[in-house]
Structure 1
Amino acid sequence: MPLDPFLEALLATLPPLPDEIDDFPAFRSNETAAAEALVAQLTEPAPEIKSRHVVSIPVDGGTIDLHVFTPFGAGPHPVHLYVHGGGWIGGSAKHKAIDILCAERAAGAGCVVVAVDYRKAPEHPFPAGLNDCYAALLWVTEHADQLGARHDLITIGGGSAGANLAAALTLKARDEAGPRLAFQLLEVPALDLTLGQPSHQRFATGYGLTLAAGEMCVRYYLASPEQATNPYVSPLLAPDLSGLPPAHIMSAEYDPLRDDGERYAERLTEAGVPATFSLHHGHIHISPGFTKAMTAAQRWREEAVAVLRRAHLTGQSPQGNRE
């Protein structure tokens, strides 16, 4: 399918992503301002939910914030732990786009959503962000009653770099006999940080996210290039994917990370893990949230919410779309 006509016009107006960053506070400030402007123009407002609040929790070497979204209705509710994107160097659970997404999933899927504001590289390189997410999972499990939530029905999800951390978290929880995760929802996931999949080259330029920007993010995230093959860095390269929670993976057609998602679904299935995959045609990496401007983004949102709702009821994902 051709690139969505709206995105063709938008791509011509987007500033190029940097290949290097000299001032990270300035980069993050500019990133936030640009993201807020896009959200104001292109994203539908958040639905009403019962409440939002922020909790600070201790982690090794500091503290992080968890943003908690509670739906209407009597609990206890399922819990969805959400990990935002941003190339491991940017993004935040405080961003308006994440607030909207989490409220949509709390309202639509009837769950408490907990968004993790993990620490960022290069100040906090791998494995700091992953360890922060694991600390959040432990905290949610231990404080489920306080959240009005079920400690026995926790799902994990994330977008882009956040989907990378979410997938890695399922491996870490399995390997360390940690809390059981019932399901994983991975959107536009980065799962091979060697950047060796065919789509990394096929869509290297011209579609917003570039291969050069991805290479930059990996350099800042990892202390050494050799870490790229660590299973907790590149879950797609993990030798053993057995025993992981069922998964639904959603990728964009015109995205350097497209093959990461499809191949991961295949590898999970080969390992005996129920996994489904949806390739969303006409999309680029950043377009799933453009619900005010694109009917296709509304369909993406509806699929993600439906997947979570079904996971809460049955523990399984619906069939994906491999067209």
Structure 2
Amino acid sequence: MGLDPAVREFLDTKPDSGDPDDSVAVRRAAIRKGSDALFAAFGAPVDAVSVEQDILLPRPDGDLRVRVYRPGPAPGLPIHVFVHGGGFWLGSIDERVNEAMCRDRCRRAECVVVAIDYRLAPEHRFPAPVEDCYAGLLWAVENAPEIGGDAGNVSIGGISAGATLAAATALLARDRGGPRLRLQLLEVPALDLTLEQMRSSGVGNDYGVTVAEMELCRDLYLPSAEQGRDPLASPLHAHDLGGLPDAHIMTAEFDPLRNDGERFAARLDEAGVAVSHHRYPGAVHGSLALTDSWPPAQLWHDDVVRALRETHAR
């Protein structure tokens, strides 16, 4: 299946990683502006939900901000922890695309969504963002009654680098005896920062994500390239995947990172973990944002909501 014209237009409009001679702060600001403009052009906004509240979690190494979305005043709702993407050095819970996704999932899956504004590289390198996500998960569980949630009915999910962090957080929860998660929802995940899977995908550099850009993200995030085999940096390299929560993994046909998710799905299955995986035809790494211009993007989000509702109903 080839690219739909709407997807090709999106790729042609999408900003690159910026001028390497500019500071990280300048590049971040430009890319954030471009991200919001892209969503305005291609995505469908979602109205605010009943409660949207930012909370600062005091920590010795810097406060952590989370945003709680509640669909209404009902208590005891499922909790979904959301981790945004951005290559570990970009992104925010304030981005329009992330707000829309959290609102949509909160309302249609009837759950409390806790979005984590983890610290970004290179100011905060690995494993700081992983620890932030784990701290956010612990906070959500420990404060479940106050946010209208059920501490025994919790899932975690993320997109791209956020999926990397979500999978790593699931590993931490297992290994530290932390909260028992019902699901890890991994959308276009980057799970092998050695980039071996990416290089062998057979997908070229014309689909919105290039090897060079991923090398940049990796080098900003990891103190050394050798840490690309650390399971918390690259969950695909974990020796043992047994005992992890069920997984729902979503990959895109024209995404050079698709092998990461597909190999992870196979390994989870081999380890006895219940896993569902779907590769979306015609999709690229960022096309899940095209909810107002490409109907399969809305199907993607319908599938997310269905997976959350089914998981949390068990």
Aligned to 1:206: 206
> 137-146 vs 45-54, which deviates more?
45-54
- Aligned ranges for residues 129-278 of structure 1 at < 5 Å? 129-197=129-197, 202-278=202-278
> 30-39 vs 16-25, which deviates more?
16-25
- The 3 A distance-change label for structure 1 pair 259 and 19 is farther
Q: Which whole-Å CA distance do the structure 1 matches of 2:249 and 2:56 have between them?
A: 30
Q: TM-score, normalised by structure 2?
A: 0.97
Aligned to 1:68: 68
1:311 aligns with 2:311: yes
Q: TM-score, normalised by structure 1?
A: 0.94
Aligned to 2:294: 294
Q: CA deviation at 1:204?
A: 3.9
Q: Which whole-Å CA distance do the structure 2 matches of 1:87 and 1:19 have between them?
A: 16
Q: Which whole-Å CA distance do the structure 2 matches of 1:19 and 1:194 have between them?
A: 24
CA contact (8 A) 2:84 2:158 kept: yes
Q: CA deviation at 1:252?
A: 0.8
SS at match of 2:283: strand
> 164-173 vs 69-78, which deviates more?
69-78
CA contact (8 A) 1:199 1:259 kept: no
Aligned to 1:319: none
- The 3 A distance-change label for structure 1 pair 104 and 313 is same
Aligned to 1:320: none
- The one-letter amino acid of 1:244's match is L
Equivalenced residue count is: 314
Q: Deviations over 1:220-278 (max 9, x none)?
A: 10001111000101101111000000000001111111111111111000000000101
SS at match of 1:82: strand
Q: Which whole-Å CA distance do the structure 1 matches of 2:313 and 2:201 have between them?
A: 40
SS at match of 2:150: strand
Aligned to 1:124: 124
Aligned to 1:85: 85
CA contact (8 A) 1:43 1:292 kept: yes
Q: CA deviation at 1:177?
A: 0.6
Q: CA deviation at 1:5?
A: 2.3
Q: Which whole-Å CA distance do the structure 2 matches of 1:14 and 1:54 have between them?
A: 29
CA contact (8 A) 2:90 2:120 kept: yes
Q: Which runs of 5+ in 1 are unaligned?
A: 315-323
CA contact (8 A) 1:201 1:211 kept: no
Identity %: 45
CA contact (8 A) 1:158 1:185 kept: yes
Q: Which whole-Å CA distance do the structure 1 matches of 2:40 and 2:287 have between them?
A: 14
RMSD: 1.4
Q: Which whole-Å CA distance do the structure 1 matches of 2:88 and 2:145 have between them?
A: 31
Q: Which whole-Å CA distance do the structure 2 matches of 1:272 and 1:170 have between them?
A: 16
CA contact (8 A) 2:222 2:228 kept: yes
Q: Which whole-Å CA distance do the structure 2 matches of 1:43 and 1:215 have between them?
A: 28
Q: Which runs of 5+ in 2 are unaligned?
A: none
Q: Which whole-Å CA distance do the structure 2 matches of 1:257 and 1:249 have between them?
A: 12
Q: CA deviation at 1:13?
A: 3.4
